[in-house]
Amino acid sequence: MHFVARLMTVFIAATAFCDASAAQSRRTLNAQPASSEQQIREQLNAGTVGLAAGLLEGAPIRFATEIARVVNESSKVHVLPIVTRGPTENVNDLLYLKGVDLAIINTDSLEEYKIQVPQIQQRIVSIINLFPSDLHIFVRPEIKSLADLAGKKVNFNTQGTAAAYSGPLIFSRLGIAADKMFVPHPVALEQLRRGEIAAVVFITSKPVDAFVKGKWEAGFKFLSVEFGPKFSDYYVASSLESADYPNLIAKGERVATIAVPTVLASYNWRPETARYRRVERFVEEFFSRIDKLKSPGFDPKWKEIDVKTGVPGIERSRAAQSWIDRANPVKHSGKL
Query: How much is the pLDDT for 294?
Result: 95
Which is more confidently placed, 218 or 29? 218
Query: How much is the pLDDT for 75?
Result: 79
Tens of pLDDT, residues 121-163:
889 999 999 999 999 999 999 999 999 999 999 999 998 788 9
Averaged pLDDT score across all residues of the chain: 87
The terminus-to-terminus CA distance of the chain in angstroms comes to 104
Tens of pLDDT, residues 283-325:
999 999 999 999 999 999 999 999 999 999 899 999 999 999 9
Instruction: Flag whether 290 is in a domain.
Output: yes
Instruction: Flag whether 2 is in a domain.
Output: no
Measure Cα distances from 85 to 10, 161, 254 in Å.
Answer: 73, 8, 33
Please give the average per-residue pLDDT across 251-256, as a whole number. Answer: 95
- Name the pLDDT band for 10 (thresholds 50, 70, 90): very low
Instruction: Flag whether 24 is in a domain.
Output: no
Which is more confidently placed, 248 or 55? 248
**One-letter amino acid for residue 163 of the chain:** A
Please give the average per-residue pLDDT across 102-120, as a whole number. Answer: 89
Say if CB 112 and CB 172 are below 8 A apart: no
Q: Is it the case that residue 101 has pLDDT exceeding 80?
A: yes
Instruction: Flag whether 272 is in a domain.
Output: yes
Question: Which of 286, 313, 309, 304 is closest to 64 using CA atoms?
Answer: 286
Beta bridge partners of 254: 241
Instruction: Flag whether 195 is in a domain.
Output: yes
- Name the pLDDT band for 257 (thresholds 50, 70, 90): very high
Say if CB 220 and CB 247 are below 8 A apart: no
Tens of pLDDT, residues 46-96:
679 999 998 887 788 999 999 999 999 987 899 999 999 887 789 999 999
198: containing domain: 45-327
d(CA 273, CA 43): 17
Instruction: Flag whether 26 is in a domain.
Output: no
CATH no. for residue 195? 3.40.190.10
Kindly state the percentage of the chain with pLDDT values over 70: 85
Query: How much is the pLDDT for 31?
Result: 46
Question: Which of 49, 46, 44 is closest to 98 using CA atoms?
Answer: 49
Say if CB 169 and CB 114 are below 8 A apart: no
Instruction: Tell me how many domains the chain contains.
Output: 1
Please give the average per-residue pLDDT across 177-181, as a whole number. Answer: 98
pTM of the model: 0.80
Measure Cα distances from 289 to 66, 68, 256, 286, 306 in Å.
Answer: 11, 11, 34, 5, 13
Instruction: Flag whether 18 is in a domain.
Output: no
Query: How much is the pLDDT for 33?
Result: 56
Written in H, E and C, the secondary structure of the chain is CHHHHHHHHHHHHHHHHHHHHHHHHHHHHHHHHHHHHHHHHHHHHHHEEEEEEECCCCHHHHHHHHHHHHHCCCCCCEEEEEECCCHHHHHHHHHHCCCEEEEEEEHHHHHHHCCCCCCHHHHEEEEEEEEEEEEEEEECCCCCCHHHHCCCEEECCCCCCHHHHHHHHHHHHHCCCCEEECCCHHHHHHHHHHCCCCEEEEEECCCCHHHHCCCCCCCCEECCCCCCHHHCCCCEEEEEECCCCCCCCCCCCEEEEEEEEEEEEEECCCCCCHHHHHHHHHHHHHHHCHHHHCCCCCCHHHHHCCCCCCECCECECHHHHHHHHHHCCCCCCCCC
Instruction: Flag whether 156 is in a domain.
Output: yes
Beta bridge partners of 125: 266
